[in-house]
Amino acid sequence: MTSRHFLFIVSSARVPGALGNTEWLAREAARHLPAGATGTWLHLNRLDLADFEDRRHDIGTYPMPSGDTHRLLEATLAATDLVFVTPLYWYSFPNRLKRYLDHWSAWMRVEGLDFKGRMQGKRVWAITTSGNREKSQPMFDSLKLCAEFLAMRWQPPLWGQGGAPGAVEKDAAAVAAAANYFGASAT
């Protein structure tokens, strides 16, 4: 059986080094990974992710990326489980996560990479904090559609009450749900 490897992609725009609510909740969940699983954490605000350029209908292909963009690509392919650790910004996800997802479109067109084929079947998780669970639904729907576009397996999201750092620690339901998150719903 292949061992599981979780890639946590943190997209909060808090200053580098500050522990936001969403990462705090994700770290609670990560204390309870399935047996034998490993984890890697990447903070998008500590990486220099290249601008995305839409070349689909002129140049057509993309070169293999370099620098931090290549590092993200490699980490993405190495994971069996992608975890979007994302606060809600304006009923959607932060611009850094959007830019990362835009690069999927480029990576699908890197010759010989077979990005789409290699993404198929990975599990996709989302851990979010915001002012309101209900208003996070459009973001969850969007992430689910992105996952399904690449035939990945969308998992039920984990939500906690956000606000100033520390707010989610008072959300007892979210803290309890975090402890069971990765074990409970893996299919």
Ligand X SMILES: Cc1cc2nc3c(=O)[nH]c(=O)nc-3n(C[C@H](O)[C@H](O)[C@H](O)COP(=O)(O)O)c2cc1C
Nearest-approach distance from CB 163 to ligand X, in angstroms: 5
Q: How far is the CB of 11 from ligand X (least distance, A)?
A: 9
- Of residues 62-101, which lie at the interface with ligand X (CB under 6 A)? 87-91
C-alpha distances in Å from residue 53, one per residue of 9, 61, 107, 119: 22, 11, 11, 21
Indicate the pairing of strand 158-161 with strand 123-130: parallel
Residue 47 Cβ, how far from ligand X at the closest point, in Å?
17
Does 157 sit near ligand X (CB under 6 A)?
A: no
Pairing mode, strands 158-161 and 153-154: unpaired
Cα separation, 91 vs 117, whole angstroms: 30
Binding mask 13-52 for ligand X (x = CB under 6 A): -x-----xxxx-----------------------------
Q: Does 155 bind ligand X (CB under 6 A)?
A: no
Q: The tokens of 91 are what?
A: 């009923």
> In angstroms, what is the minimal distance from the CB of 75 to ligand X?
20
The angle formed by the CA atoms of residues 138, 140 and 141, to the nearest 5 degrees, is: 60
The verdict on 134 binding ligand X (CB under 6 A) reads no
Among 132, 141, 145, 184, binds ligand X (CB under 6 A): 132
User: Which single residue is written with the structure tokens 């034998």?
Assistant: 36
Binding site for ligand X (CB under 6 A): 12, 14, 20-23, 87-91, 129-132, 135, 162-163, 165
